Amino acid sequence: MSRWPMPLFGKRPDPTRPTAASQSVPWPQISADQAGRLDALIDAFAQITSVGAAEPVVRGLVELTYAAPWDDQKMIWIWLAEWCRRAPGLGVPLSAVKAAMFTVEWHETFAPQSGTAWISLGKATPEQRRMIEEGAFEACSLLMASTIAYAGHAGTFSVGDVQRQLADNLGEAIDIAGPKEDAARLDADRMLSESLSLAVSGDEAEGCFVAALAAHSEGRPEAALELLERAGALGHLRAMSAASLIASELGKHGAARAWSQAGADQGDPEAIYNMGALEVQAGNRTQALAWFQRAADAGNHWGFAALVQAAEEEGDEVRARDLALRGALAGNPRCMQVHGNYCVADSEASGGSGSPRFIEGRDWMEKAASQGEVNAMFQCGILYRHSGNRAQALYWLEKAERAGDADAREYITRYGLE
């Protein structure tokens, strides 16, 4: 049985109905320290693959709740109903959500099967299920409000609005933040949905990071930076690098440097590269090159690209060639393009467009173009025309034109490639 998707329970509590505590069947004292054991049992249940494998989980639930096996009053479900009602107030809302998830999975997927585990727990009554889902609804509201606040929507609609929309799933709740009219909006919703799942799973740093991506994609860099800084404070390395970039875009250069330095101190290759970029902005060429070398040594291939550019600016072709090849082999598209150019240049003395060196250069150029380097697309078109392959030449030139190259159309027309 695979782990089930995270649902959001949309059953608002009815104040006119009795709570679990008003029923006549007793249950043990409930306290927050039971959350860890309950969560562990439910997590174990999410991983089971057979009916028989559920029996240890069932025994654990019976022991935890002091419910008598085969009790026709179904004490375990009463206990879970009361747990869901109290868990948010005990500071463990996630446990209420997990309990409700377990209830749904048990009744809709597991209970229809046979076995002693099913006999032990039976099925909750409709009233008991209602109370469990209502308690989980309150817990979801807290988690939802937290995630919405993370994503910067708190000023757009209130928690009450969320509760009114919280019928079946996150998508319905998010709809009120704006229409899903294009791929960008759908992507933002997807990331926000993921952020809730991550937050509910207990990974607050990753939840903040994903929500920050959604905020940034929606044009809210300040909200994104706040989220990234929270994730960075929790040790999330990618968030540190992203916080540095966005802080720099916002003109917060002190924060940009601080977050890059924090990531670099932990050995993050991207943060090390960002430190080099910040030194370039500050006009500190020597320090920048030292950071770019560290980035390349740490595995960031853009460090090679920066070093190649510096070597070419200094007129050091031997060093530029060496760095370009190393960067190309490391997967950097800019280095692939530069190395391809050097290969083509070498071919002029060894047979031109029919030589192995020319073909090697064209292949590297095509690899760079395939990774989105627009100038490499244009150069691929030229190289394929020189090879006599007009169809491939036209393919790459039209691709370059669509990507914004201003000279591609003129080249196509001049050489009659259409």
pLDDT digits (tens, 9 = 90+) for 116-155: 444 456 677 777 777 776 666 666 555 554 444 444 433 3
Give Cβ neighbours of residue 368 (< 8 Å, ≥ 6 apart).
Answer: 333, 334, 336, 337, 340, 376
Q: What is the pLDDT of residues 336-392, one digit of tens each?
A: 999 999 999 999 888 888 899 999 999 999 999 988 899 999 999 999 999 999 999
Alpha helices in 234-350 (DSSP H): 237-249, 253-265, 269-281, 285-298, 301-313, 317-330, 333-347
**Percentage of residues of the chain with pLDDT beyond 70:** 65
The one-letter code for the residue type at 359 is: I
Of 98, 134, 117, the C-alpha closest to 16 is: 134
Q: Which two tokens stand for residue 249?
A: 């875009």
Give the torsion sign (CA, 147, 153, 155, 161): negative
Residue of higher predicted confidence among 249 and 174:
249
50 Cβ partners below 8 Å, 6+ apart? none
For the ranges 20-24, 28-32, 209-213, 367-371, the lowest mean pLDDT is seen at: 20-24
- Compute the average pLDDT of residues 201-230: 74
In angstroms, rounded to a whole number, what is the distance separating the alpha carbons of residues 86 and 80? 10
Please state, in angstroms and rounded to a whole number, the distance separating the CA atoms of residues 238 and 176. 30
Task: Look over the chain and give the mean of its residue pLDDT values, rounded to a whole number.
Answer: 74
Q: Which of 29-38, 244-253, 294-303 has the lowest mean pLDDT?
A: 29-38
246: tokens are: 């966005």
- 100 and 9 Cβ atoms separated by less than 8 Å: yes
CA angle, residues 94, 99, 7, in degrees to nearest 5: 75
Beta-carbon contacts of 409 under 8 Å, excluding residues fewer than 6 positions away, are: 401
DSSP structural state of residue 238 = H
Q: Is the pLDDT of residue 398 over 50?
A: yes
- Is the model more confident about 218 or about 411? 411
Closest residue by Cα to residue 231 from 259, 196, 272: 259
Q: Which two tokens stand for residue 356?
A: 């192995």
Of all helices (H) and strands (E), which one includes residue 163? helix 159-165
- Residue 394, judged by CB atoms within 10 A of its CB (0-12, 13-18, 19+), counts as middle
Q: Can you tell me the distance from the alpha carbon of 208 to that of 199, in angstroms, rounded to the nearest whole number?
A: 8
User: Among 166-170, 210-214, 271-275, which range has the highest average pLDDT?
Assistant: 271-275
The residue among 418 and 363 whose pLDDT is bigger is 363
For residue 335, give the nearest of 289, 293, 288, 303 by alpha carbon: 303
Amino acid residing at 106: W
Are 408 and 374 in contact by the 8 Å Cβ rule? The answer is no
Which tokens belong to 305?
A: 């690209």
Instruction: Among 80-84, 95-99, 190-194, 338-342, name the one with the lowest average pLDDT.
Output: 190-194
User: Which domains does the chain show, CATH number per domain?
Assistant: 20-140 (no CATH), 316-418 (1.25.40)
pLDDT for residue 109: 66
Integer angstrom CA distances of residue 187 from 153, 194, 208, 215? 16, 10, 16, 11
What six digits make up the tokens of 178?
A: 């704006």
Alpha helix segments (H runs only) across 66-125: 75-86, 93-105, 116-121
Inter-residue contact 393 to 385 (CB < 8 Å): yes
Q: What does the pLDDT average to over 153-168? A: 36
Reported pTM: 0.54
Residue with tokens 């057979």: 50
